[in-house]
Amino acid sequence: MQKDYFKGWYFKCSNKNQTIAMIPAFHWNNGQKTVSLQIITDEKAYCIPFSNLTYHNKPLYIQIGNSVFSEKGMKLNIKTDQLTVQGFLKFSKIFPIQYDIMGPFKLVPFMQCSHSVYSMKHQVHGQITVNGQIISFQNGIGYIEGDCGTSFPKRYIWTQCHFQNNSIMLSVADIPMFGFHFTGIIGIVLLNGKEYRIATYLGAKVKYIGKNIITVQQGYFQLTVKLLKNNAHPLFAPINGLMCRTIHESASCKAYYRFSYKDQIICEFTSDRASFEFEYK
C-alpha cells in the first residue's frame, strides 16, 4: 500500500498589477490517491479536483487534466461551474539555484516536508483569461518551487518576492525529527545574479520573531521580512497526505524586506507584489 504522501508544485506569475499562482498536486492517504489544482489570484482562491496527474522532474513537466505546467511555460484549459481559465504563458530560460535548497537535509530520510526551488526568476509572456478577465503578461516575471513529504510543518513562515529583476525567498519552519523539534531556515537572496544563501545548515538562526515579522541571522548577514498588509485567501494543505488543513496565503500583498551585512544595507525595499504565508502562531 502506498504510504501517506503528497507532492506539489508552485508556479507564480506576476505583472505590474496582477499575480496568479497555480499549485498542481497529488496526495496519498490510506491508499487513496487524490489530485488537485489550486489557483490563487489577487481576489480569490480556487481548488479544483482532478482524476489524474502525470509528471517528471528533469525537465520539470506536469500534466493535470488538459493543462500543462513546465519549465517552458503553462498551457491552461480549465472549465468548471465556478471557474474557467484558458490561455498560454511562455517562460524564458529559468534561473535555478546553485544546489539543492535542502542542502544535506536532502539526504535525511523521513523528512516531514522537503522543499525544492526550480527557478528564482524567469520572464513570463502571454495571456490568460480567468472567468472572462484577461490577464496579460508582457515581460512579466515568474517563480517555481515545490514541496513533497507527508505534511506541511505545524508552524511556518514562507515568503517570496521579485524586485528590480532580482528575487528573494525565505521559509522558516518548526521541524520535527527523531522525537525532537528544531527551527529550520532556508532562504535565497538573488541579487544582480549573485546568490546569497541563508540556511540552518550554514549556521542561520532566528534572531527575532513577532506578529507578521521575522529576522534571521547567519554570521554577519541579517534578513528581515515583514508582512505589512495582508491579502490572504484560504488554501488546502496536507496532513499525512490528506488535504484537510486550511492555511492562508497572500499571493500578492504588501511586505517589507531588508538584507544587510555588518549593519550595512545590501538591499531594502517594500513591495505590493509579495507572496506571504504566516502560519507561525
Model pLDDT for residues 59-78, shown as the tens digit of each residue: 999 999 999 999 999 999 99
Structure letter (DSSP) for residue 17 = S
pLDDT at 196: 98
Q: Is the pLDDT of residue 1 over 70?
A: no
- Comparing 215 with 180, the larger pLDDT belongs to 215
Q: Is the pLDDT of residue 155 over 60?
A: yes
Domain boundaries, the chain: 5-279
pLDDT at 263: 86
Place of cell 502525470: 54
Reference 270, options 213, 225, 207; nearest CA is 225
Q: Is the pLDDT of residue 281 over 80?
A: no
Q: Is the pLDDT of residue 52 over 80?
A: yes
Contact 201, 185 (CB under 8 A): no
pLDDT at 180: 87
Contact 128, 86 (CB under 8 A): yes
Rounded (5°) CA angle 59-162-229: 125
Mean per-residue pLDDT, 147-170: 96
- Chain segment 94-131, per-residue pLDDT in tens: 999 999 999 999 988 788 999 999 999 999 999 999 99
Beta strand 194-199 pairing with 32-40: unpaired
pLDDT at 3: 81
Cα–Cα dist 257/168, whole Å: 9
Mean per-residue pLDDT, 130-147: 95
Q: Is the pLDDT of residue 280 over 90?
A: no
Percent of the chain with pLDDT over 90: 90
